[in-house]
Amino acid sequence: MKRLIIFSILFTSAFFASFSEPANSPRYSPSHPYTSFGGRIFFINASSYGLYWEIDLIDEPKGGFHYDRLCLEKKDIVMRSHYFSVHNNDVKNFDINTADPNNHFKKIMIYNMDNGSLLLEILPGFTIFTLKTGSIENDNAVFEALINDDLFSGGQQ
List the one residue out of 62, 72, 63, 141 whose CA is nearest residue 108: 72
* CB neighbours of residue 157 within 10 Å: 15
This prediction's pTM: 0.72
- What number of residues does the chain have? 157
Sequential pLDDT tens for the chain (157 residues): 677 677 677 666 666 655 555 555 555 556 678 888 888 999 999 999 999 999 888 776 566 666 778 899 999 999 988 888 888 888 888 888 888 888 888 899 999 999 999 999 999 888 999 999 998 888 889 999 999 988 887 644 4
Residues 99 and 91 sit within 8 Å (Cβ to Cβ): no
Order of strands across the sheet that contains 118-122: 69-72, 51-57, 105-112, 118-122
Query: Nearest to residue 101, comparing CAs of 86, 85, 121, 84?
Result: 84
